[in-house]
Amino acid sequence: MHVKVNDNIVLVGTAHISKDSVEEVKQVIKKYKPDIVAVELCQKRYDAITKKDQWEKTPVNKLLKKGNAYLLLAQTFLSSIQRRIGKEYGVEPGSEMIAAMDVAKKQGLKVALVDRDISVTLRRAWRRMGIREKFRLAWEFLKALVGYDEEELEDFDLEKLMDQDVISSMMEEFGEIAPSITDVLISERDRYIAKKLYEESKKGKVVGVVGAGHLKGIKKHLEEKEFDFDLKDLEYVPKKRISIFKLIGYSIPVIFVLLIVYMYFLGGWDKTFEALKWWIIINGGASAIGTLLAWGHPLSILTAFVAAPVTSLSPAIAAGWAAGYVEYKMRKPVVKDFKDLSNLDSLRDFWRNKVIRLLFVVAFANLGSMIGTFLAIWYIAQLGL
């Protein structure tokens, strides 16, 4: 659907997997003859749509970092779901945005990117989330990842999904999991996009192509002209607070040393060596099991076992980085693996792709090490009772 907000702004609400949306975008641009075509994209999402080979240029060190591994896994998984649903309707996700930009370029019109940087949106949301919400989000993602198969996709309510764009749909789902971030994911972006559209309208007539889920909110802000705020305020990412995770990470070495000293005074070197033995077996074993579940190379599994007992005592490094580096050396991804990231359809495809397997090794080795750390501390404490 499309609405005329005023003489200078026309909004087109789209669904990212709809052929009708693609055609409507073309027709609205043809009918209203704008000077500017504004699309609900930031530079990162624009690059993801227009530069399909970007994965091939991804530095390996970016893949190995713990936080990036989780983010890239989530990004690839969600993209796969969008693409599979899009196939049901014979159209690639984001086609209406591409159509809008193609028409604009053919007619010599300016293309404006009016959405907030998606990384800023996600970082602002992450800062606002509580510990419980972060755990719930991680758990929901793991359930989706492990349970992902063709039968699961058949359960999607495609008609409901067609009522709005896929990005907005995902944002709303995140909002249900973590209610405290609804404002960041939806309301803030409505205000941000509306002001960007308003500023573009000062330069000429604008057709704005936005997700259907944002149409009502953006229209409201444009009509009420609620623009007495600075966009930089909505682009600011609050500094990291000292989270409970960091406090736990820095307390692990202290707790470990205190336990070892306690074991020494309790039973001398025999007790001390027994505690160290179980620290290595439990911590290293859990990380190795995680790497095994990721179908890591035998040497990657061995590396995880050796590295975890050491890296668990240092918040600056992680077992997954070490295991991931060995995995990269033993099963180096090739260009085809990066290209295939755009065509992963089933869980089997995920496991077979060397890039995804590398990310799994990093993530699962770290997760195993974290679980092993707490199990080992608990077990050693029991030895001293």
pLDDT tens digit sequence for 99-116: 888 888 888 999 999 999
Q: pLDDT value at position 114? A: 92
Spans of the chain below 70 pLDDT: 15-19, 48, 51-94, 137-178, 240-246, 249, 334-351, 385
Whole-prediction pTM: 0.64
pLDDT tens digit sequence for 34-77: 999 999 888 877 876 776 656 555 555 555 554 555 555 555 55
Taking the domains of the chain in order of start, what are their residue ranges?
A: 2-235, 244-383
Q: pLDDT value at position 161? A: 44
Q: pLDDT value at position 152? A: 45
Phi, psi angle pair for 14, to nearest 5°: -125, 165
Which among 259, 204, 202 has a CA at the least distance from the CA of 225? 202
3-state DSSP assignment of residue 169:
helix
Q: pLDDT value at position 158? A: 41
Q: pLDDT value at position 149? A: 46
Parallel/antiparallel/unpaired status of strands 36-39 and 206-211: parallel
Angle at 16 between CA 36 and CA 108, to 5 degrees: 25
One-letter amino acid of 142: L
3-state DSSP assignment of residue 299:
helix
